Amino acid sequence: MNEKRLAQKANIVFRKAQLTIDNYVVPNLREYGITHTQFGVLDYLYSKGEQKVGQILSGLLATSGNMTVVIKNMEKNGWVWTKTCPEDKRAKLVGLTEAGRALIERVLPEHLTKVEEAMSVLTDDEQEQLITLLKKFKNL
C-alpha cells in the first residue's frame, strides 16, 4: 500500500474508533440530560476550578462559537456561573455552581466506568502504547 493510502486508511480507522467509543460512552451522558461538550466543560471546571472561556476552549479543543452557546445553555440550567474577569474586562470567567458540581460528581464515576469498559478491548500495555503513539500528533 502506498504511503498516502496508508495514511488515509490510518486516519479512517482512527476516526471510526473514536466514533465507536463515543457511541458507547455518550448515551450514558444523555441519561443525565447533558451533551458530550457540556460534560467536557463540567469535567474541566471540576478539575481546574474557574476558568476563562479561552482556557476552556484550549483545554477542550472546541470552537468559540459553539462554546458560547454551550456555556449559555449550561448557565440557564444552573450548572455554571459567568462573570467578567477582573484582570481582563474582555474575558469571561466560568465556574461551577453547586448544582453543576453535584451533577459532575454524579455523572463522572459512571462515565469513567464506561470509558474503562470501552478501552478494555486493549491490554494495559496496548493502552500505554496508544497513548505514546497519539502524543506524536501533539505538535502538528
What are the tens digits of pLDDT across the range 110-123?
A: 999 999 999 999 99
**pLDDT at res. 47:** 95
Instruction: Count up the domains in the chain and report the number.
Output: 1
The residue type at 83: K
In a domain, 1, yes or no: no
**pLDDT at res. 97:** 98
In a domain, 66, yes or no: yes
Helices (H), 3-139: 3-30, 36-48, 53-60, 64-76, 98-119, 124-135
Whole-angstrom Cα distance, residue 128 to residue 135?
Answer: 11
- Alpha carbon distances (Å) from 134 to 38, 90, 131, 138: 24, 35, 5, 8
**DSSP code of 96?**
E
- 43: which residues sit within 8 A by CB, 6+ positions away? 104, 108
Beta-bridge mates of residue 51: 94
Average the pLDDT over each of 30-34, 60-64, 126-130 and give the range with the smallest value.
60-64
For cell 466543560, name the residue: 41
Residue 4 in this model has a pLDDT that exceeds 80: no
**CATH of residue 116:** 1.10.10.10
- 75: which residues sit within 8 A by CB, 6+ positions away? 81, 82
In a domain, 74, yes or no: yes
The pLDDT-based confidence of 80 (bands split at 50, 70, 90) is very high
In a domain, 88, yes or no: yes
- Cα angle, residue 64 at apex, residues 106 and 118 outer, rounded to 5°: 40
In a domain, 24, yes or no: no
**pLDDT at res. 134:** 92
Q: Which domain holds residue 124?
A: 35-135
In a domain, 79, yes or no: yes
**pLDDT at res. 1:** 67
In a domain, 4, yes or no: no
Q: In the chain, what percentage of residues exceed pLDDT 70?
A: 99
